[in-house]
Every structure is written in C-alpha cells, then in structure tokens.
C-alpha cells in the first residue's frame, strides 16, 4: 500500500566492518516476548503495515509493533538476527516471519513435521544518530497462506491477549487512556526527507502540555465513541500519542467517508485550529475540504494537548498516514509560527497559504489602540483587497507604513514578511477552489459551528459529533437531489450559463451566475495590444470600494485564440474555480459561445459518480478462509448500501435484489 515510501535521506550503512556481530535465532515464545509483556497487552491494531522510514523509541517497540501487525495478518514473528557493537550495544536487527528459513534435519525417530517454508517476509531496522530505531528494509509478501484467525496459535502472540484488544485503561481519577503508541514518521510519497524536531528545543512548553486535560467521564466517552465507530465503520482509523508516563497526549481519527472524500476533494485542505487559539475546552483541530457544491467536508479530526511544533507535526503525520501518504497541493492554516514550521516539515511540496479572513479579524485587536486606527484600517484594506499587481501592493503598503509611522510595528512587520502566503495578489497562480476567502468582510465558518463553543466539554462534543456529521451529510444529499432532479432557473440566456447548467451543481451555478450578470457592468472592453498570438484587452468595470463608494477600475485580460486561453489580472478563476466577468466579456467579444474545456472544473460537476466507500479489490482473498470471505463480502455489501440509500427507487431495487440473493442462497443450501 505504501511500499517504497522513504522518509529520511540519511544513508544506511552497515557497521559490520568495525563491530562484532552476534547472530542468533529465537523462535516464538522468546525472551523478547517476555520483555514486551511488562509494558502491557495489545490495545489497538496497527493501521498500516510496516513502511521504510518508520521510527520507534526502542528495539522492543519495533518488535511489539511488528508482532501486533503479524497478529492482525495471521503469522508469527521471530528474531532472525541482532547485531552488536564492540560496546555490546545493539545497533541493528532483523525480524522475520516464523516460517522463515528451514530447520536442520533431525535424526530423531519421530521428527517434528516441517513448519518452515523459507518465507521471505521480514523487516530490518537500525539505531540512528537520534537514538531512535528506524525501519530500513521491508518485505511484506509471504510464500504461504496466512490467516488472521490462526494468529492466536503462534508463540510470539502469547502475550497479546485477545480479550483486551482495543481496551482503554483509566489511570485513577484522571481517567487517562493508556494505549501503546508507535510514533510513525510518514510524509509524502515522493520520498522527501523529514526534518527532525529537537525535543529539547520545546522542553519548557512541552512539559506544560504533556497530556490532554481530561475531565471526569471524558476517557470513557472516547472509548465508547471509538468502540461504536469501529462496529459501524470497518475502515475507521485512529492514532494515539502517549507521553512518557503512558498518558494520552494527542489523538487523531477519521472515518471512511472522510478518507474517501479526500480522494475527491483533497487538493486544497484547510486546517482549523480556532479551538486551540481561542482556548476552547476541547482542543480540536479539524482538516477541512470543499465538495462539489462548495460545502465544507470533514477530512479528519485531532485533539492536541498543546500547540507545540512537536504536537502539530505528530498530528500532520498521523493525518497523512491515514490518507496513504498523498499530501494536498495546497494547505491553509492560521498565521502561526508553530503551524508554519510543522507544515514545512510534513508537507514540504504543498503550497502553504495563511487564512486571510483570520488575519484581518485580528486588525482591531492589533491596531485598535493606534491614534488614527480607522484611517489605517481603510489603507490596509485597500492594499490587501484592491491591489491588482504585486508592485501596486508594495507601493500602497509602503505609503501606509510611512504616512502613519508604523515602521516598527512588530505585527505589521510579521505580516509583511509572510505577504506571499496571504495577500491575494501573490496567490493568483495557485488553484484554491474557493477555500481561501479573498473578499472584504468574508468570515470563515467552523465545520462544527452550533455544536462546539468555548464551554463545550469533550463528552458533550462527542455526543454531538455524529449530529454534526449527519447534518453536513444531509446538506450534501439534498444538494445532490436538487442538482440532479430540478432544473436550474437561469436568469439569462447566456451561452456560458446554458453550457454549465448541464454540468455544474446548482450551488456553484448560483455563484457563477453573479459573474454572468457582472458582464453587463463591464461597459468598456477594448484591445490594447495585438502582437503575436496573445492579445491584451482592457476591461473597465465600476466596483464597490470599502463598502460605501464606487470607482472605475481597468482589468487586464490576456487572450490566446490558438490555445483558447484567457487570463484575467483579477485571478478569480484560481481563487473560486470559475471564470470572472472580465474573461467572459473577452470571450463573448471574440464570438466564443462555450467556455474552453480547461476552465470546466471537474470538482464542480454533478455528472461524476462519487461513492463514499473505500474501494476494495479481492486481491489476496483466500476463498477457503471463512474470515477472508466474511471480510470481503462485508466490504462489498457496504458499497451496495451506499448506492441503495441514494433514492427511494434505488432503495426498493436494492431490497428486491437482496431478497432474490437470499432466496437463491437458501435454494442452494437446500440442495446440499
């Protein structure tokens, strides 16, 4: 699934030449298993198989992780080799399937039957300079059948008691979850190296936020809710992070719908940390995308004990692991040095934008005490929202700084340093799908508005969590039905609107309709340059400035008739995902009756079939194994349920088809 993911660029070098190697084999019920039992039983399954680059705190943690994975897959584990330095310090190891190699021939009268097959499945790992153990080689394929149901028979699983699987233990009155953690480092599939975060660098703040502040009943609420989700959602994903005492520090989770939605709507992702910055009782972090109706969709949630770089980095890596290592093209966060450092570490190839509305919401707090605040606010708005080119912004900003004597204002200095990440004039080449609001007075709404406020407890939030998801799901279903079954009432007979009415969802059409109407406010479209294939037009429009006055502005539009390309200086297409009134005016003036295909965005289309069920193939299914049969049939039937719920007609057809299947199966059983 994630084979070949390389997480660090450090070379792996054998130290055999300058160190004594001591090789030994220990089968099944070995000293290593006894060591593991001291730290507890298995309490949660590993969400992914071992991957090159995963790191662990100790040799024993590697063994425990691989043994847990082996138990879930249905094979045993044994230590094939361990290498030691001259100082008798372990520096390298190899864990193999218990069927690896072959036993020596026995001369006994009644030798035991051969159980080994020379199986190649194994992991190799070594001690790195940061004193963490890193997996350096992985082989997942076995040369024999494996079955999860047989895992309980292997000696290496002796200490992993099934009865305590997924248990949440409470620590005295604090009710702190104790689930063993494997802090997996996973970043994008291109194999970029990750920057190690020094624990000492944040020691002071880390000690103050070393565990979640759970109130009475919170841990039990987490346990109950996660147990419920695992029953109804076989692909529910979660990861926990524990501190040195085994207490819950950070938590991440995502359901199947969110994981599938990321595949459709994951190019631009916003990270909502308002609960951290505004000190909510629930330290929630939400990953948000936008669907084909322009509605927010949840792509995962986390709880953080503190807003340290270490915590944010852990959360981003957990989320990226859940999404199979595929990073977004653009990620949007609040302006925060901690978040900026974590994003640069985990998403080095994503373009990092800062949330413009959240920055502008801070203006009264940061500048409200200044003598000429109202004039400064107007000047700042003009620079940010109405500049069409970078040089125009730079000049307007400099005039503001000089005129009001703001040269030494620390917050404004920081904004200027980060200007390429939040000022719209610098973001016009980045496709943002309407996720970054770039107009004055626009406000970012939280996904959980109405379900979570500063005083909501964690237990209350978990009680309301499903309601929030169901309400969001219902909005999407209703919008789907409206777009599919009811025709959009066109306000004009414009060819562009007629074209997109057949393709786009109604919500997006309503937004595009404003641009079609705006064509008629563009009262002058003239060609100013016609050299070569690219023609330059100037489109004049009367716009509203600062909410109380109107002025005429000229918008430059480049048009290439050969390539059918049109580019406006306002940048609306990349900001919102549909062409602006200025570009439409130029197309109309040139006799173009349809929007060129490169400007028809697939994300807004209503004719694309989207199913919120993870795609499971039957590869690797052993049809002779009842567990494999059950698991595969369950996942297949979930796809039937997803399709059957979409309308009353589909529901009736689904019930009828299932009845026919049951009758056929009963007839077959009667013949046996």
- With a CB cutoff of 8 Å and minimum separation 6, the contacts of 133 are 55, 56, 57, 58, 59, 61, 62, 93, 125, 126, 127
**Residue 236 sits in the same domain as residue 334:** yes
pLDDT of residue 659 exceeding 50: yes
Quote the DSSP letter at residue 645: T
**Residue 257 sits in the same domain as residue 350:** yes
pLDDT tens digits for range 358-377:
999 999 999 999 989 999 99
Mean pLDDT on 17-45: 35
**Which of 196, 423, 464, 453 lies closest to 313, judged by CA?**
196
Question: Is 592 strand, coil or helix?
Answer: coil
Question: Is 479 within the bounds of a domain?
Answer: no
Angle at 556 between CA 554 and CA 559, to 5 degrees: 145
Mean pLDDT on 642-655: 85
Q: Which domain holds residue 138?
A: 54-102+115-155
pLDDT of residue 505 exceeding 80: yes
Which of 411, 437, 469 terminates a domain? The answer is 469
**Residue 586 sits in the same domain as residue 665:** no
pLDDT tens digits for range 251-304:
999 998 999 999 999 999 999 999 998 889 999 999 999 999 999 999 999 999
- Interhelix angle 581-589/506-518, rounded to 10 degrees, is 70
Question: Is 491 within the bounds of a domain?
Answer: yes
Question: Is 20 within the bounds of a domain?
Answer: no
Question: Is 204 within the bounds of a domain?
Answer: no
The encoded tokens of residue 377 equal: 């606010």
**Residue 348 sits in the same domain as residue 435:** yes
Q: How many C-beta atoms lie closer than 10 Å to residue 516's C-beta?
A: 21
Q: How many C-beta atoms lie closer than 10 Å to residue 187's C-beta?
A: 26
**Residue 364 sits in the same domain as residue 333:** yes
**Which of 74, 177, 197, 92 lies closest to 134, judged by CA?**
92
**Residue 401 sits in the same domain as residue 267:** yes
- As a whole number, the mean pLDDT across the chain is 79
Question: Is 223 within the bounds of a domain?
Answer: yes
Percent of the chain past pLDDT 70, that is, above it, reads: 77
User: What's residue 287's pLDDT?
Assistant: 97
In this prediction, residue 390 has a pLDDT band, given cuts at 50, 70 and 90, of very high
Question: Is 7 within the bounds of a domain?
Answer: no
Q: Which of 182-186, 334-338, 500-504 comes out lowest in average pLDDT?
A: 182-186
In DSSP terms, 567 is beta-bridged to: 558
Entry pTM = 0.66
């Amino acid at each position: 699934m994630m084979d070949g993911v390389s997480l660090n660029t450090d070379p792996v070098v054998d130290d055999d030449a300058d160190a004594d190697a001591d090789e030994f084999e220990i089968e099944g019920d070995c000293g290593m298993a006894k060591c593991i039992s001291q730290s507890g039983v298995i309490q949660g399954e590993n969400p992914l198989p071992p991957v090159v680059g995963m790191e662990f705190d100790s040799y024993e943690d590697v063994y425990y992780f691989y043994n847990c994975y082996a138990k879930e897959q249905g094979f045993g584990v044994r230590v094939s080799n361990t290498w030691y330095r001259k100082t008798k310090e372990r520096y390298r190891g190899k864990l193999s399937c218990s069927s690896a190699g072959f036993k020596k021939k026995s001369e006994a009268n009644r030798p035991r039957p051969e159980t080994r097959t020379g199986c190649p499945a194994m992991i190799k790992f070594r001690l790195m300079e940061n004193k963490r153990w890193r997996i350096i080689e992985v082989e997942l394929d076995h040369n024999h059948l494996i079955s999860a149901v047989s895992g309980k028979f292997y000696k290496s699983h002796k200490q992993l008691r099934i009865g305590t699987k997924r248990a949440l233990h409470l620590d005295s009155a604090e009710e702190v979850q104790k689930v063993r953690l494997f802090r997996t480092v996973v970043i994008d599939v291109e194999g970029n190296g990750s920057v190690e975060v020094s624990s000492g660098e944040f020691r002071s703040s880390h000690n103050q936020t070393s565990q979640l502040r759970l109130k009475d009943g919170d841990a039990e609420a987490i346990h109950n809710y996660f147990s419920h989700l695992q029953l109804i959602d076989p692909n529910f994903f979660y990861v926990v992070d524990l501190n040195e005492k085994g207490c819950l520090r950070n938590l991440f989770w995502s359901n199947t719908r969110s994981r599938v939605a990321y595949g459709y709507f994951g190019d631009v992702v916003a990270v909502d940390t308002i609960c951290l910055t505004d000190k909510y009782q629930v330290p929630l972090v939400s990953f948000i995308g936008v669907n084909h109706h322009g509605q927010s969709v949840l792509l995962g949630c986390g709880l953080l004990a503190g807003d340290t770089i270490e915590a944010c980095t852990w959360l981003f890596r957990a989320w990226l692991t859940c999404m199979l290592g595929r990073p977004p093209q653009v990620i949007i966060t609040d302006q925060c040095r901690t978040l900026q450092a974590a994003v640069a570490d985990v998403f080095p190839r994503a373009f990092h934008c800062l949330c413009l509305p959240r920055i502008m919401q801070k203006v009264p707090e940061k500048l409200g005490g200044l003598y000429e605040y109202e004039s400064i606010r107007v000047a700042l708005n003009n620079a940010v929202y109405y500049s069409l080119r970078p040089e125009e912004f730079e000049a307007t900003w400099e005039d503001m700084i000089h005129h009001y004597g703001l040269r030494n204002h620390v917050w404004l200095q920081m904004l200027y340093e980060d200007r390429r990440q939040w000022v719209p004039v610098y973001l016009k080449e980045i496709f943002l799908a309407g996720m970054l609001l770039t107009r004055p007075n626009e406000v970012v709404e939280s996904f959980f508005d109405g379900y979570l406020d500063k005083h909501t407890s964690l237990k209350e939030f978990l009680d309301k969590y499903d309601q929030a998801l169901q309400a969001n799901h219902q909005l999407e279903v209703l919008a789907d039905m409206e777009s599919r079954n009811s025709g959009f009432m066109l306000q004009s007979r414009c060819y562009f609107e007629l074209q997109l009415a057949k393709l786009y969802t109604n919500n997006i059409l309503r937004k595009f309709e404003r641009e079609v109407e705006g064509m008629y406010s563009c009262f002058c479209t003239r060609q100013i340059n016609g050299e070569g294939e690219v023609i330059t037009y100037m489109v004049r429009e009367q716009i509203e400035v600062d909410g109380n006055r109107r002025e005429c502005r000229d918008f430059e539009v480049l048009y290439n008739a050969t390539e059918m390309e049109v580019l406006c200086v306002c940048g609306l297409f990349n900001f919102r995902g549909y062409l602006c009134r200025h570009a439409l005016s130029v197309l109309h003036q040139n006799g173009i009756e349809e929007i060129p295909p490169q400007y028809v965005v697939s994300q807004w289309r209503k004719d694309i079939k989207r199913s919120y069920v993870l795609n499971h193939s039957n590869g690797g299914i052993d049809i002779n194994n009842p567990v494999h049969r059950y698991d595969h049939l369950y996942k297949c039937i979930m796809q039937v349920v997803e399709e059957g719920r979409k309308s009353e007609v589909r529901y009736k057809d689904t019930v009828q088809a299932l009845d026919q299947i049951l009758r056929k199966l009963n007839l077959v059983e009667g013949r046996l």
